[in-house]
Amino acid sequence: MTKITNEELLNSITAKFAGVTSVGEPFGLLTIETSREEIIDLLTFLKTDAKLQFIFLTDITAIHYPKQEKQIGVIYHLHSLVNNVRIRVKVFMDENDLHIPSATVLWDGANWMERETYDFFGVLFDGHPDLRRILNVDDMTVFPMRKEFPLEDPNRVDKRDYFFGR
Amino acid sequence: MQNHPVFTDNDPQTEYSTLNLGPTHPATHGVFQNVLTMDGERIVNGVSTIGYIHRAFEKIAEHRPFYQITPLTDRMNYCSSPINNMGWHMTVEKMLGIQMPKRVDYMRVIIMELARISDHIVCNSILGVDTGALTGFTYMMKYREHIYEVFEEICGSRLTTNIGRIGGFERNFNHIAFEKIRSFLKIFPPNLKEFEALFNRNRIFVDRTKDVAAVTAETALSYSWSGPLLRAAGVDYDVRAMEPYSSYEDFDFEIPVGTNGDVYNRFLVRNEEMWQSMRLIEQALNKIEKEDPNIFHADVPEFYLPPKEEVYNNMEALIYHFKIVMGEVPTPHTEVYHAVEGANGELGFYLVNDGGRSPYRLHFRRPSFINYQMYAPMSQGMLLSDAIINMSSLNVIAGELDA
């Protein structure tokens, strides 16, 4: 099996999905960005396409950029065990409207990964069978991995970046 | 779960009882709670509750410089912490573009494979205990102690090792460490053979484990299983072979696979992996002899802490020491995913860096967390005693489950 290059991979994706843009390939791992309307179609294509076969869902997680227009990003890592290629898919959303379709229709393993993402970032996965908190206590009201929740005393200034010339 | 349909017979008794298995139950070896609906001894339904020892490592990591995150990784899978440590070092080195000397790679292979053996020793011998055979446990634990002595010789600690540094090792292996590794390779194989003779064809053990919790390859992949569990189901996915890190491509080893993913297959796969790990260690020891014996870290003064004597006597060393400790060294704006083959499966580190002194976001892909989610669905229709053995052979480590 010859390894698929990132260029081929990107071409075969953009041929089908016009809304997909490449945001680089750090350390050889192709990273693409799409919208939440397209995400399930894209994941289905990646999983079921006879040539690509990204059958293994490595991970789902999220990231918070408070200063961006769309603050919360959901990040999927997929792995094609057949071609031994990985791909990273990102979907960015507005903080006030965090609905995204659930990937549990494609992989059973997405269940807990999405619960964890919900637990820490508040991303609402539509169609998830059991979207509850998983690691934090059930009656917690905040989403602790967002950047507005400080780990230490927020009044503490001795670790601020400007002391280090940044 | 297609393998274990929910038990729906025509039993007129419709009243089920609820059983709390855990959070602290002697048979679960860790903090696991499962609320089970029982029909006699058979499980009708189960709900796993996790998070009892959640320590927010991902949040803490966002506030710590890179080298201070290593002790956090120790406390994930504490049965094989060196693999976590090495995985983290390699992630940061990949991000910084540090190329390791071959000797350091081989030293790391030795450490990681020893850790894998110690993890599998725990899993397989405890599986024996859960089936009622304490003997195997008493035979094997002695050798985990031997491995811990090697770790102690190299880094000074045993369980939560914090072994190595970003850029190499904190010190060279001394001759006692090498002797201990060599003597381990000599005395462990006969013992492992004896252990296998005790279990592999033991009627009672085989009856208790064969066809218990069998999983097809499709189901295992759908649940994103990895490591020995996935291989026992017949998929030969091993990160060491698929995406070699730390010079695994220089080594000759085999990936054992099972056929139907039951408890017995997992047991056999783990035993065989111990043999393969010993092969790897032996090859690494031979390769190390051909390398310069004084190299134990890469030449990256801006990331690798200088020795203390030099900090006090040498201007450059003092500057670098200060810069490293205060997080003054510039790092790239980038994101990196690096995976290593942990003892339980693919252990991934997803690191997003914004050039600051600590990661912008760090996510651990923890194999125990992902492997464990099938536990409740697959227990449906199983006998409680089988479910206990199943949990034992999943080898879920609570620290890694909850991070």
Per the domain annotation, does B120 fall within a domain? Answer: yes
Per the domain annotation, does B104 fall within a domain? Answer: yes
CATH of the domain at B184: 1.10.645.10
Cβ–Cβ under 8 Å, residues B337 and B393:
no
The yes-or-no verdict on residue B270 having pLDDT over 90 is yes
pLDDT bucket at A70, cuts 50 / 70 / 90: very high
Contact B336 A161 (CB under 8 A): no
Closest approach of A23 to chain B, Cα-based (Å)? 11
pLDDT bucket at B27, cuts 50 / 70 / 90: confident
Amino acid at A93: M
DSSP string for B127-179: HHHHTT-HHHHHHHHHHHHHHHHHHHHHHS-SSS---SBTTB-SS---HHHHH
pTM (two decimals):
0.92
Residue of A nearest to B349 (CA): A59
Region A16-39: mean pLDDT is 90
Contact A58 B348 (CB under 8 A): yes
Q: How far is CA B242 from the centre of its chain?
A: 18
What ipTM goes with this model?
Answer: 0.90
Per the domain annotation, does B2 fall within a domain? Answer: no
Give residues with Cβ within 8 angstroms of B237, minimum separation 6: A56, A81, B226, B230, B231
Nearest to B231 by CA among B393, B101, B363: B393
Which of B327, B337, B346 is closest, CB to CB, to A88?
A: B337
Nearest to B392 by CA among B203, B137, B139: B137
Q: What is the pLDDT of residues B49-59, one digit of tens each?
A: 998 999 999 99
The yes-or-no verdict on residue B11 having pLDDT over 80 is no
Per the domain annotation, does B147 fall within a domain? Answer: yes
Q: Quote the CA–CA distance of B11 and B24 in Å, as a whole number.
A: 32
Nearest to B262 by CA among B213, B202, B203, B204: B213
Q: Quote the CA–CA distance of B116 and B182 in Å, as a whole number.
A: 17
Per the domain annotation, does B23 fall within a domain? Answer: no
Query: Given its phi and psi angles, is residue B118 left (phi above 0), alpha (psi -120 to 50 degrees) or beta?
Result: alpha
Domains belonging to chain A, first-starting first, are 6-157 (3.30.460.80)
Cβ–Cβ under 8 Å, residues B119 and B143:
no
- B 328-357 residues with CB < 8 A to A: 328, 334-337, 339, 346, 348, 350, 352, 356-357
Cβ–Cβ under 8 Å, residues A151 and B62:
yes
Cβ–Cβ pairs < 8 A, chains A and B: 97
Contact B356 A111 (CB under 8 A): no
Q: Total structural domains in chain B? A: 1
The yes-or-no verdict on residue B137 having pLDDT over 80 is yes
Per the domain annotation, does B28 fall within a domain? Answer: no
Contact B336 A26 (CB under 8 A): yes
Write out the residue range of the structural domain in which residue B148 sits: 57-402
Pairing of strands A99-101, B42-49: unpaired
Q: What is the pLDDT of residues A105-124, one digit of tens each?
A: 999 999 999 999 999 999 99
Residue B2 has what pLDDT? 47
Which tokens hold the place of B266? 């997992």
The yes-or-no verdict on residue B109 having pLDDT over 60 is yes
Closest approach of B99 to chain A, Cα-based (Å)? 14
Task: Collapse the DSSP code of B75 into the 3-class scheme (helix H, G, I; strand E, B; otherwise coil) and give the result.
Answer: coil
